[in-house]
Structure 1
C-alpha cells in the first residue's frame, strides 16, 4: 500500500447550532456550523434530506441556489431562505 498524500489534516473548534422547524409542507432539521474556513460562510446540513451547502448571504441572493443544493421546490426553498436570512 502506498503512503497517503494529505492535502490538509487540521482540527478546528466550531460553533454548531442544531435547529428544527416546521414549514408549511416540510420539516427542516438543520445543523449550522460556523468555522474559520469557507470565507465567512456557514456549513448548513439538512439531516432530513442528507444534503448540505456552504452558504453565505450572497448565496441566498442567488436564484435557485437553495432549491438546487437541497432539492427543494420553490415554496420550500423560499421558507428555508427566509429562515437562513435570520441566522446567516
Structure 2
C-alpha cells in the first residue's frame, strides 16, 4: 500500500555559490543554489542558522520579509542584506513552472 503519492523526484546538476561577507555590524554566510526548479528562483540558505528561502527580485525589495525569514533583529542589517542580494542575485524574470 502506497502511503504517499510522489509529486516529483528530480535530479539536476546545479550551480552553487558559497559567499561570506561582513557589514559594519554583521557577518553573513550564505549558500546560493541556482536551479531550474521553483519558478527559477534561487534557493538561499543562511549557513549560520540553516534558515532558507526562495528569493526573486520582488522579495529582495521587501526588507521586512528578509528581516523575518532570516530572523535579523536590526532593520539596517536587513537593508544591508537586501543591497547585497540585489547586487548578487540575477534579476531575470522567473518562469512559470506549471503550465
Identify whether the pair has TM-score above 0.5, normalized to the shorter chain. yes
Match of 2:80 in 1: 79
Q: Which has the higher strand share?
A: 1
Q: Any runs of at least 4 consecutive aligned residues in structure 1 with deviations exceeding 3 A, and if so which? A: none
Q: Which runs of 5+ in 1 are unaligned?
A: none
* TM-score after normalising by structure 1: 0.89
Alignment RMSD (CA, Å): 1.3
Q: Residue 60 of structure 2 contacts residue 82 of structure 2 at CA under 8 Å; is this kept in 1?
A: yes
Q: Cα deviation per residue 1:17-70 (whole Å; 9 max; x = unaligned)?
A: 000001122110100111001212111101112211100101112241100110
Distance between the aligned counterparts of 1:63 and 1:25, measured in 2? 17
1:4-83 equivalent positions in 2, closer than 5 A: 4-5=3-4, 6-72=6-72, 73-83=74-84
TM superposition shift of 1:7? 2.0
Q: Tell me the number of residue pairs that the alignment of Structure 1 and Structure 2 aligns.
A: 87
Distance between the aligned counterparts of 1:23 and 1:62, measured in 2? 19
TM superposition shift of 1:8? 1.6
Q: Residue 15 of structure 2 contacts residue 33 of structure 2 at CA under 8 Å; is this kept in 1?
A: yes
* TM-score after normalising by structure 2: 0.80
